């Protein structure tokens, strides 16, 4: 069967855990302007506004009401039971894949639970929401940490490893992503180019729908447990 699988996840996989997506109805971008909260320029103009945006999401994620759902759990089980190589590349900054048990995981758009030194790029675990007291321990003078997330115009994390995995995979599955943000939206092209089978799991026909060979329409939490069986 398959020897190498790459799974790309987006906000839709965490929607059923109660986290808002970006571009759906009631998504985060209905309430916030992308250029204000998801660009380096927005952060430079108003760091408190951007920290507030991430702090609200941090509080929800760590507030005790958000848990991994059946889709996260199914992927973690696949990792344990699959004989070949599996890499989950997530665009999500939540930690629901880790909580479900996934270990071969790459957060290409960063992690909500971490802050980053803007000078050295070293990351630090955040035990509470952001504030001016969060400074690095790697520089003198200590630098104020910024959210460890990838904004528009910034380079996503781990692209070399992702590229290698896509070049050599025989199955690529994209789950709960609108396919509107690059480079992640282009991963299906790379996988197709290398002869992999490509599968879209989504509630709707997303932006890159026509590039996928197989389509599984519905909730990720219903489809993934069946797919992994
Ligand atoms: C369900 C479900 C359920 C719901 N079950 N499904 C012109 C052309 C091409 C590219 C560009 C361009 N101009 C600029 C660019 C580049 C730019 C870009 O792509 N812009 C587009 C807007 C066009 N990209 C960048 O700048 C990136 N960097 C970059 O390109 O660097 C240079 C480079 C050069 C060469 C090679 C490589 C790189 C950086 C992008 C950073 C994105 N950052 C954000 C915010 C930070 C993190 C955070 O705050 O959380 O990341 S934006 C936001 O979108 C977030 C997400 O990770 C990302 C993707 O969103 P996602 O996950 O797809 O969510 P939604 O809401 O869009 O979709 C949810 C889906 O789930 C829907 O389809 C639902 O139907 C589905 N769904 N419930 C199954 N239960």
Handedness of CA 182, 125, 80, 21 (dihedral sign): negative
| CATH (domain of 131) | 3.30.1600.10
pLDDT at position 63 is: 93
182 CA from centroid of ligand 1 (Å): 6
**Does 111 score more than 90 pLDDT?**
yes
Question: ipTM for the complex?
Answer: 0.97
Lowest mean pLDDT among 73-77, 105-109, 124-128: 124-128
**124/175 same-domain check:** no
Phi, psi of 220, rounded to the nearest 5 degrees? -60, -40
**55/136 same-domain check:** yes
**5/72 same-domain check:** yes
Task: For 63-90, give the DSSP string.
Answer: SS-----HHHHHHHHHHHH-SSEEEEEE
Count of residues for the chain? 229
On whether the CB atoms of residues 204 and 37 are closer than 8 A, the answer is no
Q: What contacts 132, CB < 8 A, 6 or more positions away?
A: 144
**104/160 same-domain check:** yes
Strand 4-9 and strand 85-90: pairing? parallel
Which of 7, 9, 11, when mutated, tests ligand 1's pocket best, judged by the most ligand atoms within 8 Å of its CB? Answer: 11
pLDDT at position 229 is: 84
Which of 95, 181, 199, 209, when mutated, tests ligand 1's pocket best, judged by the most ligand atoms within 8 Å of its CB? Answer: 181
**Does 131 score more than 90 pLDDT?**
no
| CATH (domain of 93) | 3.40.50.1220
Mean pLDDT of 195-218: 98
Residue the block writes with tokens 């986290």? 19
The residues facing 217 across adjacent strands are 202
**91/32 same-domain check:** no
Ligand 1 contact via 10 beta carbon (within 6 Å): yes
Is the preceding peptide bond at 40 cis, omega within 30 degrees of 0? no
**126/37 same-domain check:** yes
72 CA from centroid of ligand 1 (Å): 20
**14/46 same-domain check:** no
Both tokens of 31, joined, read 């309430």
Strand 110-116 and strand 123-125: pairing? antiparallel
CB atoms within 10 A of CB 152: 12
Domain span including residue 82: 1-19+68-109+156-229
pLDDT at position 175 is: 98
pLDDT at position 1 is: 86
Q: How far is CA 150 from CA 91, 111, 220, 222, in A?
A: 9, 9, 25, 30
pLDDT at position 203 is: 98
CA angle 189, 192, 194 (to 5 degrees): 110
Both tokens of 196, joined, read 């992999």
pLDDT at position 132 is: 82
**132/50 same-domain check:** yes
**43/100 same-domain check:** no
Model confidence at 130, in pLDDT bands (50, 70, 90)? Answer: confident
**88/192 same-domain check:** yes
Spatial distance between the Cα atoms of 20 and 200, rounded to a whole number of angstroms: 20
**228/172 same-domain check:** yes
pTM over 0.95: yes
What's the domain count of the chain? Answer: 2
Ligand 1 contact via 149 beta carbon (within 6 Å): yes
Both tokens of 56, joined, read 């609200």
**160/85 same-domain check:** yes
Is the preceding peptide bond at 141 cis, omega within 30 degrees of 0? yes
97 CA from centroid of ligand 1 (Å): 18
**Does 33 score more than 90 pLDDT?**
yes
């Amino acid at each position: 069967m398959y020897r190498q699988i790459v799974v790309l996840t987006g906000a839709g996989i965490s929607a059923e855990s109660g986290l808002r997506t970006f571009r759906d109805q009631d998504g985060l971008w209905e309430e916030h302007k992308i250029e204000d909260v998801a660009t380096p320029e927005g952060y430079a103009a108003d760091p408190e506004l951007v920290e507030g945006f991430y702090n609200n999401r941090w509080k929800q994620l760590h507030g005790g009401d958000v848990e991994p759902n059946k889709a996260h759990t199914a992927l973690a089980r696949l990792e344990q039971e699959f004989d070949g190589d599996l890499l989950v590349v997530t665009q999500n900054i939540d930690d629901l894949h880790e909580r479900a048990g996934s270990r071969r995981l790459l957060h290409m758009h960063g992690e909500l639970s971490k802050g980053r030194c803007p000078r050295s790029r070293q990351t630090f675990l955040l035990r509470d929401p952001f504030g001016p007291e969060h400074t690095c321990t790697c520089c003198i003078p200590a630098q104020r940490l910024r959210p460890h997330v990838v904004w528009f115009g910034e380079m996503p994390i781990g692209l070399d490893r992702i590229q290698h995995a896509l070049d050599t995979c025989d199955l690529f599955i994209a789950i709960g992503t609108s396919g509107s943000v690059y480079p992640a939206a282009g991963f299906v092209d790379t996988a197709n180019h290398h002869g992999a089978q490509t599968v879209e799991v989504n509630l709707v026909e997303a932006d890159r729908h026509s590039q996928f060979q197989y389509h599984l329409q519905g909730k990720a939490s219903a489809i993934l447990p069946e797919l992994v069986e």
